[in-house]
A and B are shown apart, each in its own frame.
Chain A
Amino acid sequence: MNPALRILAPGLGLTVQDLGRFGARHLGVPPSGALDDYAHRVANWLVGNPSACATLEMTVSGPRIECLIAADIAVTGAAMGLWLNGTVRRPWASLRVRPGDVLELGLAENGCRGYLALTGGIAVPEVLGSRSTCLAGGLGGLEGRLLAAGDLLPAGPGELLTVPRRLPWTPIYPQHHLLRAIPGPHDHLFAGELGRFFETTFTVSPRSDRMGLRLDGPAVARDAGAPSGIVSEPVVPGAIQVPGDGQPILLLREQTIGGYACIATVLSADLWRIGQVKPGDTVRFVRVGLAAGRRLAAQWRDFLATTERLLAAGR
């Protein structure tokens, strides 16, 4: 396949991601995938792709990229500044590029992760049903690694837009994040602490990475007699683990099994927000019950479906 993009400078943490790799978790292969799946989906919809197409995930500092084909691109997520051949362009909107064009993204001024979609998607080979990069396993994406200067990326088949697209609402990412979470699966080990946990404001540690966000704050205490470790159990993205020192770790999408009790789990409808949390930000978890959580998550899925439909229909 002919290359579509050439990476001139990668910025920090540039990877290929899609919605994730879900078929091999029982073999220890984590989901990976776009951490802010909302921005990832919208970027795809803006260029006429289905949400499952792979995009580029950019972290904190954006890349410089040469376009090698005519295509539509869209940049969403963190506000990084976007220049096409030196001219400022608008994010959250489709943008026609031609061979030889140079795109440049700057430092994230709001949020943490940006997404760049391209007509047809980034068509690196699928590994176990997904193009997402799993850095720990060295698989997916381009050779299982961070992208580097000189890398060439192919695009899949797709048609150019007949009418440009733009999302007329764009998120403003906070520095103080409220994440809705359902108690469990091990809330029974923290019965005396649960109320206080949901009132605590945690600070995101600089030791956070794509595996998990480490949260600094008053130690979360187990009930008297509760064990510090558990027999290792499956974990899901958004699980809030409490290790022996009581400093929680908010698990992202790179782990399948864990040996620490999880006091609560972030609602699926709020997982995308975690992708925009950066070190130094604060996080508080808002308690929701299972029934309410299911309703809220269904509303979010409806909103996504509506957004996709509106963008496809044109305004």
Chain B
Amino acid sequence: MDNRDDKADNRLPAVRFRISGDRALIAVYGDRVEPEINERVRRMAALIEAARHPAIEAVVPSYATLAIHYDPDLIDPAALGGLLRDLEVRAEETTVPPATTIEIPVCYGGEFGPDLATVAAHNRLASEEVIGLHCRTVYRIYAIGFTPGFCYLGGLDPRLHTPRLATPRQRVPAGSVGIAGGQTGIYPLASPGGWQLIGRTPLLLFDGGRTPPVPYRPGDAIRFRPIAAEAFFRLAGEEKR
């Protein structure tokens, strides 16, 4: 199915739909990593959730697409596509809660970021310059996935791009902040991993016992704030572990 609807909205490229089995539809708003496309995805996810349609079971956004899981006994994909187009046309009258920016305290280098020196050397920078550049950007959360709570962040300064470790670590502690190629991110849970670790946050980002389990949503933004070991110690003590 590739239902173009050119007259629905003449300012935005028409949404297209792809079939993902008999219980999900993928709404395609673009095929590139761009803040504008991702913002449209975020708005649509919020609109669909607010509509609380009985046939829609879940909405899962990614960079430029949105999966809509539906009850096949209550709606067919063609009707669902029409519903989504109508929602977007009426979207101007609806307010969608704004994206928020979450500040993440990070202790850089040393015990907390064993690869900070590697990233600095690779890019011919001082460690302080790496920290300064890493903290300056407000990173958009394009999607959450890979592992529970893992953010796909956009906007890493090209001066910080660094290849992955040749041999991944068997265990990366929860809260580790790393760089891999042109990406930066946080490990919300302890896991194996090959990213260059430059720091660590004392915050417990993912907690399955909490609702919601992570303090951010797709489309929100993250800013890193450098802290010292004393602050890490204090903040870690305040987290329920």
Interface of A with B (CB < 8 Å)?
Answer: 22-30, 127-128, 134, 136-140, 144, 182-186, 188, 230-236, 238-239, 255-257, 262, 265-269, 290, 293-294, 297-298, 301
Contact A232–B63 (Cβ < 8 Å) = yes
**Of B22-30, B88-96, B105-113, the one with at least 4 CB within 8 A of chain A:** B22-30
Residues from chain A with Cβ under 8 Å of B233 in the complex: none
Residue of B nearest to A230 (CB): B31
Q: A231-B32, A293-B22 are in contact. List 11 more A-B contacts (CB 8 A).
A: A22-B58, A27-B217, A136-B148, A136-B191, A138-B190, A182-B19, A186-B18, A232-B143, A239-B21, A265-B20, A298-B73
Complex interface residues of chain B between 203 and 229 (CB less than 8 A to chain A)? 206, 208-209, 211-214, 217-218
Annotate B167-180 by CB proximity to A: 1 below 8 A, 0 otherwise.
00000000000000
B152 CB–A CB distance under 8 Å: yes
Contacts A134-B148, A184-B18 given: A29-B32 contact, CB under 8 Å? no
Contact A268–B22 (Cβ < 8 Å) = yes
Contact pick for A256, options B31, B59, B60, B217, CB 8 Å: B60
Pairs A–B under 8 Å by Cβ, sample size 19: A26-B58, A27-B149, A138-B190, A139-B148, A182-B22, A184-B18, A232-B62, A232-B63, A233-B26, A234-B20, A234-B66, A236-B23, A236-B67, A239-B20, A256-B145, A267-B21, A268-B72, A290-B1, A298-B73
Interface of B with A (CB < 8 Å)?
Answer: 1-2, 18-24, 26, 31-33, 45, 57-67, 69, 72-73, 76-77, 143-150, 152, 189-191, 206, 208-209, 211-214, 217-218
The majority secondary structure among interface residues of chain B is loop
Contact A232–B209 (Cβ < 8 Å) = no
Residues from chain A with Cβ under 8 Å of B145 in the complex: 28, 232, 234, 255-257
Contact B208–A139 (Cβ < 8 Å) = yes
CB distance from A251 to the nearest CB of B (A): 11
Contact B148–A137 (Cβ < 8 Å) = yes
Contact B60–A25 (Cβ < 8 Å) = yes
The distance in angstroms between the C-alpha atoms of A157 and B43, with both chains bound, is: 43
Contact B148–A140 (Cβ < 8 Å) = no
The distance in angstroms between the C-alpha atoms of A268 and B59, with both chains bound, is: 18
CB distance from A244 to the nearest CB of B (A): 16
Residues from chain B with Cβ under 8 Å of A28 in the complex: 144-150
The distance in angstroms between the C-alpha atoms of A233 and B67, with both chains bound, is: 8
The majority secondary structure among interface residues of chain A is mixed
Contact A27–B214 (Cβ < 8 Å) = yes
Contact A24–B67 (Cβ < 8 Å) = no
Residues from chain B with Cβ under 8 Å of A138 in the complex: 189-190
Residue of A nearest to B37 (CB): A231
Contact A26–B22 (Cβ < 8 Å) = no
Residues from chain B with Cβ under 8 Å of A144 in the complex: 208
The distance in angstroms between the C-alpha atoms of A234 and B213, with both chains bound, is: 19
Contact A27–B213 (Cβ < 8 Å) = yes
Residue pairs across A and B with CB atoms within 8 Å: the count is 144
The distance in angstroms between the C-alpha atoms of A265 and B77, with both chains bound, is: 15
The distance in angstroms between the C-alpha atoms of A262 and B209, with both chains bound, is: 33
Residue of B nearest to A264 (CB): B21
Contact A297–B18 (Cβ < 8 Å) = no
Contacts A25-B58, A28-B148, A290-B1 given: A236-B143 contact, CB under 8 Å? no
Contacts A128-B208, A232-B152, A257-B145 given: A184-B22 contact, CB under 8 Å? no
Contact B31–A231 (Cβ < 8 Å) = yes
Contacts A28-B144, A140-B208 given: A294-B72 contact, CB under 8 Å? yes
Contacts A128-B208, A182-B19, A234-B62 given: A136-B218 contact, CB under 8 Å? no
Top 4 A-B pairs, shortest CB-CB distance:
A257-B145, A234-B67, A265-B21, A185-B18
Residues from chain B with Cβ under 8 Å of A140 in the complex: 208
Residue of A nearest to B210 (CB): A128
Residues from chain B with Cβ under 8 Å of A257 in the complex: 60, 62, 143, 145-146, 152
Contact pick for B22, options A255, A256, A294, CB 8 Å: A294
Residues from chain B with Cβ under 8 Å of A265 in the complex: 19-21
Contact A298–B148 (Cβ < 8 Å) = no
CB distance from B180 to the nearest CB of A (A): 13
Residue of B nearest to A257 (CB): B145
Residues from chain A with Cβ under 8 Å of B23 in the complex: 236, 268, 297
The distance in angstroms between the C-alpha atoms of A230 and B2, with both chains bound, is: 18
